[in-house]
Structures are given as structure tokens and as C-alpha cells.
Homo-oligomer: A and B are copies of this chain.
Amino acid sequence: MSGVSTSVITDPALVAMFDCDPILVDVAPALSIVPGMTPNLILTSGPPLEWHEYTGGQRNAIIGGALYERLASSPAEAIAKLDAGEILVRGCHDYSCIGSLAGVTTASMPVLVLADQKTNRKAFCTLFEGAGTSRLNYGVYNEEVESNLQFLASVIGPALSELIHSLPEPIRVIPIMQRALHMGDELHSRNTAASLLFLREVMPALVSMEPVRAKELTSYFMTGEYFFLRISMAACKLLADQMSGTPGSGIVTAMAFSCKEFGIRVAGFGDRWFRGPLPKVETSGLFPGFTTDDIEVMGGESPITETCGLGALAQATAFPLQRYQGGSAADMVARNLEMYEIAVAEHPWFHIPFFDYRGTPAGISVQLVAQTKIAPLMDVGIAGKNGGQIGAGCFRAPLEPFLEAARLLEEAKL
């Protein structure tokens, strides 16, 4: 498939990352598979905050998660228990999870399980909630959302698990991602091709399943075009964590935000978060009837894909995205080229046909960000003030956390 490597990777963090081959091994309830998961634990996106610091849609989603888990029978009771510490709130990243938007992950929710065969390390991500704008992770919890989450847990999760276990061999996700980049996806805001390529992989197993189950799964796969994003995110979490702890390395291993802050992790600093203000909207495509005044940031960890050379770092693979998230093809080319300024290498796996198969920018370096004052871009879904998705866009990270990490790395050398 790929075969073209334009640069030899010598950076030790990247060498570690590329020594990983994520495979999809299961879909299982978080409680059964996520190390450290407990029934009263609610994971959410971004550098962790105290419970009372979560506001708006992200706070609503956390409360929704508590209600969904029957930890409380009313929002008031949920809030009281959260205040009392009977229900705990933690960051997804600390549990090998990765959150979409608000990122709420609770004990009974089915999670995709990505594993590295060599080390048996795992990463997890919840399932795509479907195409409706009302979703828990866009800050909404109501009967429709609840019933959909229950359907995912009772029907789709088990069916996916059965499907995965019936495959003759586990699905390697990198080849799917490579191909999808040649079919208009950048694997963050566009996963149209990857979702179909995944379907193609499981087709032989799908037609062998019990027909009712097969139809339910088929219908789920065909709802929206974002099924694969969660696989892409969990695979990237697995890849990025490979770099974590590389001594002295300034390679970014996570970019994530809560409702309040943006934060990054850096390979040389392990699990430490470097925090800064929320990202700025560079360009946006909002659904009809919405304006930028309606935008509410309620968290997001999907920029883990940018951390791995995808999303905004691969925009020139996904010109069709311009209609969804605003801007022109020329803008996308310019933005993509700009990202090479802050990356230490060209990706040996992920290529951009429009750039004559040049590898995507791989390995965002805090030192290069500090030097160029170019902050990373991120393709993201946009939530609205009343909950729900109202569009998509390209966000620019703040410089502060990169500058701080670069400064600390510089000081450590002295």
C-alpha cells in the first residue's frame, strides 16, 4: 500500500510510535476492560479539572453520564453526589481512553478496544452515537439520547464484539487509514472512506451473522459516516502513548481541551499536562441558522489524530472537507504546508497524493512551535450553546503550553 518513505525516522519518540501496529481486538463494556474503571467513575475530555469547574454542555454531559449509569435518579441528586465525591470525574487520557467532544465514558458503555500486539498495550474509545444532533457528547441527555445509548450497549456493542471475534484474523487499522487518506479522508473530520473500508473488511463475517443482528449492525454502520473516527482516535491514542516518557523529547503526545482549557502532553514529560487558553476558531462551517456566537466549547480529545499526523495535518488529502468546515482548497493546501514547519519528520505511513505522496507532517515539536510561533491546527466538530452539533471547523491551538514545555526542556538541558 504505502511503500513510499520520504524520510528516515530517527527521532526516538517517533521511532517508538512507528513500532506499533494497532489492531481492533474487541468491543466491550468499559468496566470489563478499561484498567481502573469503576461503576461510579465518569471520564471526560481534556486536562482534568475539579468537578465544579466543568460548565455548560460538558457539565451536562457528565450529569447525563451519571443518570445513564443510574448513579442518581435526578440531575439534582447527581450534582449532590458529584459534589460529595461519591461520583468521581477524571480525565479520559489517564485511563487509556480518548474522548470525542465532551468525551463522557462510563462503566457500562461499550468501548472499542485497540491493542498493540507486540506490547499488548490497549487504548479505548466509546462508540459513535449516530447521526442525530442530540448526543450525550454534544452536551445533551434526554430520553432519545438515553435510549440510543442503551441500544448501543445492549445491541450494537455485543454485535460488534461477535463480529470482531468471528473474523479470521484481527483487523489492522493502519492499512485502512492509509487507503482512506487516498479517498478524501483526513481521518478526523472526514472518515467517510475509512468507514466504508472498514465495512469492506468485515463484510465476509457480516454476511455470515444471524440476519437480524447483521441488519442491525448494517443499519448502524450506515448511520452517518463517522463510525471509523472512534477507531482512528483509539489507534492514535495507542500510537501517541508509545512516545510518552521518551527522555528529553519535545514531541507532542496529546492535544485536548475541556470546556475551560486547552492542554498538551509532551513525550519528555509523560502524563503531565501543559495548559493554556481554549483554541481559536480559524475557520468554520456552521449548519444553517447558526452563527459563531452559538459556538460552545465543551471539550474534545479527537486532536489526538493531529498528534499522529492526521486531521488538519493531512487536510490536503480531504478537499471535500472544505464545504463541511469552511475555507477553500487553496486554504487547505496552505494550512497543510504550514504544519510541516512544526513537525520533525514526514510520515512513513500516511501520504498526501496531492503533494505527490509526501508523508504528512509527523511529530509536532514544541521546540519548532516555539521557534516558528506557529501553533498546530485541529479539524473539529463544533457544539452549540444549547447542546448538539452545529457545525465543524478548523481550530488553532494556543501557543502558551508549547512555549512552556519548550522552555522547560531548554532549562533541563542547561
A contact set with B: CB distance below 8 Å: 182-184, 192-193, 196-197, 199-200, 203-204, 206-209, 211, 214-215, 218-219, 221-222, 319-320, 322-323, 328-329, 353-357
Contacts and interface: CB of A to CB of B under 8 A. Distances in A.
A237 B353 CA distance: 30
Given A199-B199, A222-B200, A182 B214 contact: no
B357 A323 contact: yes
A325 B222 CA distance: 32
A207 B329 CA distance: 39
Q: Could you tell me the dominant secondary structure of chain A's interface residues? A: helix
A342 to B, nearest CB: 23
Contact of A329 (B183, B200, B355): B355
Contacts of A183: 183-184, 192-193, 320
Contacts of A211: 207-208
Contacts of A200: 196, 199, 222
Contacts of A319: 353-354
A209 B208 CA distance: 10
Q: What 5 A-B pairs come out closest when comparing CB atoms? A: A319-B353, A182-B320, A207-B214, A196-B196, A320-B353
A44 B240 CA distance: 55
A221 to B, nearest CB: 8
Contacts of A192: 183
Given A203-B221, A328-B356, 8 more contacts: A183-B320, A184-B353, A203-B222, A206-B207, A207-B214, A323-B353, A323-B357, A354-B354
Contact of A199 (B196, B214, B320): B196
Contacts of A196: 193, 196-197, 199-200
Contacts of A322: 353, 356
Contacts of A207: 206-207, 209, 211, 214-215, 218
A218 B199 contact: no
A366 to B, nearest CB: 32
Contacts of A209: 207
A193 B184 contact: yes
Nearest to A184: B183
Nearest to A221: B203
Contact of A215 (B182, B204, B218, B219): B204
Contacts of A221: 203
A68 B211 CA distance: 38
Contacts of A356: 322, 328-329
Interface centre among A207, A221, A319 (most CB of B within 10 A): A207
A297 to B, nearest CB: 28
29 contacts: A182-B184, A182-B320, A183-B183, A183-B184, A184-B184, A193-B193, A193-B196, A196-B196, A196-B197, A196-B199, A200-B222, A203-B221, A203-B222, A204-B215, A204-B218, A204-B219, A206-B207, A207-B207, A207-B214, A207-B215, A208-B215, A319-B354, A322-B353, A322-B356, A323-B353, A328-B356, A329-B353, A329-B355, A329-B356
